């Protein structure tokens, strides 16, 4: 029995953290957020070179064929470094959707390109979970009409995978006619969100998704785990920075870290966060190996980690005093990242309701 990360997983995590540490300082993140797309592309390329696009692509299609635990490790490291690059949608949910539900032809066409970092696929699955403003799509005559909100990793994508209300997944190249893209601006500008308006856009069904929801569910579960891991990574930075700041800042002639109020804020953050690491690993393991527990674990992980993340993002800001509230310190990048992760693919309340139904509490 061994519960934890393997040496390989740890070294992948270290490599990504180190890369971001060297190449994506707060100043660089700030310039990306303010519109420096070249810088964003450069970071994205560097991360692709480290393997983030090929992790989830099966080996027969030129990928690394790694498991969900690897994928969460990467997500955690990206959250830790507030990496301004696509990941959860383009490199986890999309290849997973293709692998489990795509036709051979769809796989051959897209998976090698994803692995090589030559294709980005945005994922629009929010309406499957809960549609706002009557968004949602209909499929008929081989084409899709309607709207998808909060498509993940959709900016400059080569194609989209979108879902209708019943969990059927559709693949739509972005150069098809009948597609209008509206850029959305969320608080978290380290990642992008778009709305897509389809008017009779040519679409292919992913055949494995057409008569059951299990493909869509698995894609959602995986996405939720990536967002959870991202939040855990981001919250860990916020805690680490809080402790470091408390050991450096003095007031009343002593380190603020010697004030018990501050120590207790830090201890509470640590006590809440530490189990979240284990929970994310555990849920990732279940997704690959324990199908009967995997949906419930993914739901609970996303909901619980979102709550803990929210609390830590608040508390860590408080520990930094006025500095915490400034743009200059940059703590807010993680605050906002945690804020977006919390809502994407279902807020905690929605997901807990789903978890209740999964256990038959409504029967």
Partner 1 sequence: MDLNYGPEYDDFRTEVKAFVKANEDIKVTGPMRSESRINWQQTLIDHGYFARSIPKEYGGYGGDMDIIKLRIIAEEFAKSPIPKPMGGQGIQMLVPTLLELGTEEQKKEYIKPTLRGEIIWCQGYSEPNSGSDLASLQTKGELINDEWVINGQKIWTSTAQLAQMCFCLVRTEPDAPKHQGISYLLIPMDTPGIDRRPIKQMTGDSDFNELFLTDVKIPATNIVGKRGEGWKVANATLGHERGSLADPNVTLNRLNSLIELMKSETIDGQRVIDKPAFRDRLLSIQGRVLAQQSNALRILSSQINPEQEATLSKFIVKLQGTELRHELEGLAIDVMGEMGTLYEQSPHLRDGGIWQMHYMYYLGLIIGGGTNQIQKNIISERALGMPKEPKVQGA
Binding site for partner 1 (CB under 8 A): 1-6, 69, 243, 246-247, 254-255, 257-258, 260, 262-264, 266-268, 270-272, 274-279, 281-282, 284-285, 289-290, 297, 300-301, 303-304, 307, 348-349, 352-353, 355-356, 359, 361-362
Q: Least distance in Å: CB of 56 to partner 1?
A: 17
Q: Least distance in Å: CB of 297 to partner 1?
A: 7
Q: Is the Cβ of residue 22 or residue 361 nearer to partner 1 in the bound state?
A: 361
Q: Is the Cβ of residue 33 or residue 237 nearer to partner 1 in the bound state?
A: 237
CA dist 234 and 33 (Å) reads 17
CA dist 42 and 64 (Å) reads 22
Pairing of β 121-124 and β 136-140? unpaired
Q: Is the Cβ of residue 218 or residue 285 nearer to partner 1 in the bound state?
A: 285
Q: Least distance in Å: CB of 263 to partner 1?
A: 4
Q: Least distance in Å: CB of 307 to partner 1?
A: 7
∠ CA 306-231-314, rounded to 5°: 65
Residues with Cβ within 8 Å of residue 36, at least 6 apart in sequence? none
Q: Is the Cβ of residue 237 or residue 355 nearer to partner 1 in the bound state?
A: 355
Q: Is the Cβ of residue 158 or residue 353 nearer to partner 1 in the bound state?
A: 353
DSSP string, 209-270: GSS-SHHHHHHHHHHHHHHHHHHHHHHHHHHHHHHHHHTT-EETTEEGGGSHHHHHHHHHHH
CA dist 35 and 30 (Å) reads 9
Q: Least distance in Å: CB of 226 to partner 1?
A: 17
Q: Is the Cβ of residue 175 or residue 362 nearer to partner 1 in the bound state?
A: 362
Pairing of β 169-173 and β 159-163? antiparallel
Q: Least distance in Å: CB of 17 to partner 1?
A: 18
Burial of 130 (0-12, 13-18, 19+ CB in 10 A): middle
């Amino acid at each position: 029995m061994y519960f934890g990360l393997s040496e390989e997983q740890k070294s992948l995590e270290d490599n990504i953290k180190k890369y971001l540490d060297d190449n994506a300082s707060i100043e660089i993140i700030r310039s990306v957020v303010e519109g420096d797309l070249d810088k964003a592309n450069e970071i994205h390329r560097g991360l692709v070179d480290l393997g983030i696009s090929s992790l989830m692509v099966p080996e027969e299609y030129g990928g690394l064929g790694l498991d969900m635990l690897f994928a969460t490790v990467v997500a955690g490291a990206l959250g830790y470094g507030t990496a301004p690059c696509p990941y959860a949608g383009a490199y986890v949910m999309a290849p997973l959707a293709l692998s489990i539900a795509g036709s051979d032809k769809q796989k051959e066409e897209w998976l090698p390109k994803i692995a090589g970092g030559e294709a980005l696929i945005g994922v629009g699955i929010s309406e499957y979970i809960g549609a706002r403003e009557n968004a949602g799509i209909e499929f008929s005559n081989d084409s899709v009409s309607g709207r998808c909100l909060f498509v993940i990793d959709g900016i400059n994508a080569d194609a989209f995978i979108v879902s209708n209300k019943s969990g059927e997944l559709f693949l739509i190249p972005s150069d098809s006619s009948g597609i209008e893209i509206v850029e959305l601006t969320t608080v978290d500008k380290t990642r992008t969100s778009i709305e897509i308006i389809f008017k009779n856009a040519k679409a292919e069904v992913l055949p494995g998704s057409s008569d059951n929801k299990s493909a869509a569910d698995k894609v959602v579960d995986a996405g939720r785990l990536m967002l959870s891991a991202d939040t855990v990574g981001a919250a860990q930075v916020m805690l680490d920075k809080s402790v470091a700041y408390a050991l450096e800042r003095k007031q009343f002639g002593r380190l603020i870290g010697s004030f018990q109020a501050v120590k207790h804020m830090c201890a509470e953050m640590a006590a809440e966060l530490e189990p979240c690491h284990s929970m994310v690993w555990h849920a990732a393991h279940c997704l690959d190996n324990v199908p009967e527990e995997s949906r419930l674990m993914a739901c609970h992980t996303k909901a619980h980690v979102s709550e803990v993340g929210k609390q830590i993002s608040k508390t860590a800001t408080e520990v930094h005093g006025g500095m915490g509230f400034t743009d200059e310190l940059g703590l807010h990048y993680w605050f906002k990242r945690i804020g977006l992760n919390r809502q994407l693919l279902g807020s905690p309340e929605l997901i807990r309701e789903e978890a209740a139904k999964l256990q038959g509490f409504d029967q």
